[in-house]
């Protein structure tokens, strides 16, 4: 399975493609950052992000897309741009009919490092180790995109298996009821002489 991870951002949107399967070694296919200038109007920046994501989808043809779920941070000045970039990523993937999964930052940190409170340096170090890279991916947005793809391959694959099993169980024909033969005995009171 091939997954495109997207760490949305209006100035830097991290993108990373990882290939592999649950329980098998993972391989980095490509990693990068889509950049926009803060001097441009927001609409033009969003078009740049959209074109960049479209190019990654066209070039790498992923089976699924994993996007970081946006949450309100203490710095609300960046949340709107991040949410807008996230929406662009969701639309670009949905337009192609690709499954899209949102993963929270703490879920990603826990998946790659074992701790939902890991810092960026720990996540980057683990991504480097998991993918057996010669050097850590830079900037952090690129490493985060790879971490999203890894998380989906590990957690998303398991969740998809459970969903498929539940669907098969729900749509499977009902088994015929088992017939049990019940043998009863009755006591007939004996008359006493």
Pairing of strands 64-68, 2-7: parallel
Any alpha helices (H) in 96-139, and if so which ranges?
105-113, 120-130
Give the C-alpha separation, 113 to 121, whole Å. 11
For residue 54, with 0-12 CB atoms within 10 Å meaning exposed, 13-18 middle and 19 or more buried, which class applies? middle
List, by residue number, the catalytic residues: 7, 68, 141
Compute CA 111 distance to the chain's CA centroid, rounded to the nearest angstrom.
11
Q: For residue 68, say whether it is annotated as part of any ligand binding site.
A: yes
Strand order in the sheet with 12-19: 27-35, 12-19, 2-7, 64-68, 100-103
Give the C-alpha separation, 88 to 73, whole Å. 20
Which parts are annotated binding residues? Answer: 7, 68, 141
State the binding site for Mg(2+).
7, 68, 141
């Amino acid at each position: 399975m091939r997954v495109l991870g997207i760490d949305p951002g209006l100035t830097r949107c991290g993108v990373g493609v990882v290939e592999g399967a649950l329980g098998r070694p993972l391989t980095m296919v490509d990693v990068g950052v889509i950049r926009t200038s803060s001097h441009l109007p927001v609409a033009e920046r969003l078009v740049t992000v959209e074109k960049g994501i479209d190019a990654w989808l066209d070039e790498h043809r992923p089976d699924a897309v994993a996007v970081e779920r946006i949450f309100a941070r203490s710095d609300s000045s960046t949340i709107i741009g991040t949410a807008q970039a996230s929406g662009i990523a969701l639309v670009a993937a949905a337009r192609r009919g690709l499954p899209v999964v949102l993963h929270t930052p703490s879920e990603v940190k826990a998946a790659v490092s074992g701790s939902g409170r890991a810092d960026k340096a720990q996540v980057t170090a683990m991504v480097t180790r998991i993918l057996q890279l010669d050097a850590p991916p830079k900037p952090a947005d690129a490493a985060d995109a790879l971490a999203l793809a890894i998380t989906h391959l590990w957690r998303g694959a398991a969740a998809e298996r459970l969903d498929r099993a539940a669907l098969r169980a729900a749509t499977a024909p009902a088994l015929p009821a088992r017939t049990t033969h019940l043998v009863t005995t009755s006591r007939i009171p004996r008359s006493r002489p």
